[in-house]
Structure 1
Amino acid sequence: MIKTLFYTFLETKHQEENANNDQLLPQEIEIRPVTRCLWDLSKTLSPHEVWNRGKLQLPMEYIQATILMHIPDLISKIQMMIGHFDLKVKDLDTNTVHTLSFWKDAYEDNFATRETWFREFVKRRSLVAGMVVGMYWDFNVNMLYFSVLE
């Protein structure tokens, strides 16, 4: 916790009438730093997500709350809702940018990627079941950031 002193220069009407105007009193307040959780989405990889026919799934709520809100083109939004779309993903650990192909899973309420996920991340980074990965969407560059946390 960070504490600091500041002086009040504006007083209420009641304080002004009843106080000595020559004296300013310091007040102690608490300032809490605002920190955003960097990883919007963190997940422990399951065996199904790291084998060569496995797929990484992102929940529909996450896609709607981050990616769909910040794509200005209506046609791109429609493509994302009904079918296939490509998404730029930056691997923060290796400082490389990859393109993952996502599609809407017909039987579940999420988006999934298979071949590009396995080739670009699982095989290249030697990911195994039990590893924790984190992802967040950067609104400024319209890119998903990825990192292996544990």
Structure 2
Amino acid sequence: MQYQEITGFVESSHVSTDLSLSLASSENKSNERNRKGRKKKSMKMENDEWKCSTSLVLCENPWKIRKVLTTSDTGGLSRLLLREYVGENFMLPVLDAHAHRKVISGTGSSVSVWDVDTMSMHNLILKRWPSLNSFVLVGKWNRDFVLRRALNTGDEIGLLWDSFKHCFLFSVLKRNH
């Protein structure tokens, strides 16, 4: 744009064409330098585009079922009370048809629970409690989890379904100190 303005000035003042040629020559050199600069810059950008990160980032929390334990969960009743929404959306859909019917009927169905923190397998009974509009994990909940893991009211636990092992995974996510 600067060259055009200068060229306009040159033509209007009737200065010799040598000056015009000199300006045109310097513009060509300038364009050539810019092209080389852009080429180097674009090569650098291409190299940067292929760099990749080796850090692992989890996009979402894998623990689909999270619960802060209440007094009734850690007391002598030996049951983990789960909301209806949790049972219907995260537990029932992973069970086979026979187990699903047993849970809904209130009889209950045995489910395996792998404690990922201690690498130990446990069996609990999943039941639906229609009177409370909830689900419960009963059986040896108190012995295998509350006492063995020293769980207290206010601790946060997590459960999720492992489709490869066909069991629920359990972990203590946060201790209430």
Q: TM-score, normalised by structure 1?
A: 0.70
- Higher RCO (C-alpha 8 Å, min separation 6): 1
Counterpart in the other structure of 1:131: 155
For 1:102 and 1:70, how far apart are their aligned partners in 2?
A: 12
More strand, by proportion? 1
Q: Is the 8 A contact 2:94 2:161 kept in 1?
A: no
Q: Quote the offset at 1:58 in angstroms.
A: 2.1
In the alignment, structure 1 residue 77 sits paired with structure 2 residue 100: yes
Q: Quote the offset at 1:54 in angstroms.
A: 4.8
Unpaired runs of at least 5, structure 2: 1-41, 50-56
Aligned length: 125
Unpaired runs of at least 5, structure 1: 1-24
Root-mean-square deviation (Å): 2.5
Q: Is the 8 A contact 2:62 2:160 kept in 1?
A: yes
In the alignment, structure 1 residue 100 sits paired with structure 2 residue 124: yes
Q: 1:52 aligns with which of 76, 92, 104?
A: 76
For 1:118 and 1:126, how far apart are their aligned partners in 2?
A: 10
In structure 2, the residue corresponding to 1:140 is in which secondary structure? coil
Change (3 A) 1:70 1:103: closer
For 1:116 and 1:34, how far apart are their aligned partners in 2?
A: 33
Change (3 A) 1:60 1:140: farther
Percent identity, please: 25
Q: Quote the offset at 1:81 in angstroms.
A: 1.2
Counterpart in the other structure of 1:141: 165
For 1:130 and 1:119, how far apart are their aligned partners in 2?
A: 18
Q: Quote the offset at 1:100 in angstroms.
A: 0.6
Change (3 A) 1:64 1:50: same
Q: Quote the offset at 1:62 in angstroms.
A: 2.3
